[in-house]
Amino acid sequence: MSITVRIPTVLRAAAGGAATLPGEGSTIGEILGKIATEFPGVKPQLFNEDGSLHKFLNVYINDDDVRYLGGLEAPVTSGDEVTLLPAVAGGAA
pLDDT of 8 strictly over 80: yes
- Pairwise CA distance, residues 60 & 84, whole Å: 7
Helices (H), the chain: 9-12, 28-38, 43-46
Residue 28 is assigned to a structural domain of this protein: yes
Provide the whole-model pTM: 0.89
What's the domain range around 16?
3-86
pLDDT tens string 9-63: 999 999 999 999 999 999 999 999 999 999 999 999 999 999 999 988 999 999 9
Residue 92 is assigned to a structural domain of this protein: no
Residue 57 is assigned to a structural domain of this protein: yes
pLDDT of 91 strictly over 90: no
- Pairwise CA distance, residues 36 & 84, whole Å: 13
Count structural domains, the chain: 1
pLDDT of 70 strictly over 70: yes
Secondary structure class of 77 (helix, strand, coil): coil
- Pairwise CA distance, residues 62 & 83, whole Å: 7
Residue 23 is assigned to a structural domain of this protein: yes
Domain CATH code at residue 74: 3.10.20.30
